Amino acid sequence: MAKIKYIEHNGKEHVVEVQNGLTVMEGAVQNDIPGIDADCGGSMSCATCHVYVKEDWYDKLPKKEMGEDDMIDQAFEPNSSSRLSCQIMVSDDLDGLSVYMPEKQV
C-alpha cells in the first residue's frame, strides 16, 4: 500500500492509498481522479496516462522498459521527467510519491 499524491495541472491535489500491484494509472482511474485518460487501458499503446515525476522520485522509480520512451514521444509536452503512469507499479516503496499531470492528455 502506498499513499500517492496526484496533482492536476491546475494545482488541485488528490491523495489516495493505492494497493500494491496496481499501477499508478489504475490508482487514478479507480478513484475517479481527473487528468489521466488511459484510453488503451494500460497496454502502453496510447500515451494518455502521461505524468511528470520530479527528480527526487524519478530516480527511485523502477526504470523505463523498452517502448515506454517511444510512446512518451507522442504524449502532450513530454520532457525528461515524463513517465507513463500505467508502467509504474505500486509497492510500499512508492509511499509518498507525487505525480504531476500535464495540461492535457493528447
Partner 1 sequence: MIKTDVVIVGAGPTGLFCAHQLGIIGLKCEIVDNLDKIGGQCIELYPDKPIYDIPAVPECTGEELTNNLIKQIKPFNFKFHLNDRVQELREENESWIVKTTNGKEFNTPNVVIAGGVGSFEPRKFPTKSAEKFDGKTVLYSIKDKSIFKDKSVAIFGGGDSALDWAIELSSTSKVSLIHRRDEFRGAPASVQKIKELSEKNKISLFTKYSIKDVKGNGSLEEVEIKSEEGESKTIKADYVLGFFGLIMQLGPIAEWGLNLDKKTIPVNTENFETNKKGIFAIGDICTYPGKLKLILSGFHEGALAARGCFKHARPNEKYRFEFTTASNTIKDRLGVK
**Is residue 76 a contact point for partner 1 (CB under 8 A)?**
yes
Q: How far apart are the first and last CA of the chain?
A: 30
Supply 71's cell numbers.
510512446
Going by their DSSP bridges, the two strands 2-7 and 98-100 should be labelled as parallel
CB of 76 to partner 1, least distance (A): 6
Query: Which stretch in 3-11, 54-62, 68-76, 85-93 sits in contact with partner 1 by CB under 8 A?
Result: 68-76
CA-atom Rg of the chain in angstroms: 12
Backbone angles phi, psi at 4, to 5 degrees: -120, 135
List the one residue out of 5, 25, 33, 32 whose CA is nearest residue 17: 5
Minimum CB distance to partner 1 smaller for 2 or for 87: 87
Residue from the set 40, 57, 64, 89 that interacts with partner 1 by CB under 8 A: 40
CB of 102 to partner 1, least distance (A): 9
Residue from the set 9, 12, 70, 96 that interacts with partner 1 by CB under 8 A: 70
CB 16 within 8 A of CB 27: yes
Chain residues that interact with partner 1, rule: CB under 8 A: 37, 39-41, 43, 45-48, 69-70, 73-74, 76-80, 103, 106
